[in-house]
Amino acid sequence: MPPVFGDCALDDKTLRAYLDRLIKHFGVETVVETGINAGGSTCWFTKLCARTIGIDNDHECVEHVRGVLSQTGAQGWEIIEGNSPEVIRDMIRTNHIDAGKTLFFLDAHWQSYWPLRDEIRAMSPGKGIIVIHDAVVPNSDLGHDVCAGQAITYDYLRDAFLHWSADHVIGYNCEWTAQFPYRGILSAFPSIDWKP
């Protein structure tokens, strides 16, 4: 019986196509996904990129997704249990990843501690591409996450982005391109030269 994931970020076909274009255009070698939940997006990433690293601090999620990926026969994946900012910092410090050829898909924001700002600050300055799921898209009704009254907005993340790159460029999806599950996406590039 094939694994059942439920809703996942990459059920949105236009988001999958966008990520595939980024991966090909910028020669992305690794996708680092934070917040793997049931593994639906992680499974899709193994089809889009040669190497996928999923990070989650929930032991049950980690074990479940390891089992699912083993069952599907997916290749080039690694699931790490831990605090995502610490894991990202360690992977960069030890050259476990080439940050300049990495797409960071940040989706770890369901618990009381949102690691988003710390994840961005853990990244190599001016390297990689950042895509944040469930973000507020200005002038849009696309879904987004809120924790303790705080939505995922650019203003909430601005200081972390400036720490990562003073010249960063931000982009969003829009309602007319979004498909199920109709969630907001914020993309960040270190400079205008990185914009697709």
Domain extent, residue 134, equals 9-149+159-194
At 66, is the pLDDT very low, low, confident or very high (cuts 50, 70, 90)? very high
- The pLDDT of residue 194 is 59
User: Does residue 3 lie in a domain region?
Assistant: no
User: Does residue 1 lie in a domain region?
Assistant: no
**pLDDT tens digits for range 99-125:** 999 999 999 876 778 899 999 999 999
Mean pLDDT confidence for 27-39: 94
User: Does residue 114 lie in a domain region?
Assistant: yes
Tally of structural domains, the chain:
1
User: Does residue 2 lie in a domain region?
Assistant: no
- Contact criterion met (CB below 8 Å) for 186 and 131: yes
User: Does residue 98 lie in a domain region?
Assistant: yes
CATH number for the domain that contains residue 137: 3.40.50.150
User: Does residue 179 lie in a domain region?
Assistant: yes
Strand order in the sheet with 77-81: 77-81, 51-56, 30-34, 102-106, 129-133, 185-189, 169-172
Considering the entire predicted model, what is its pTM? 0.93
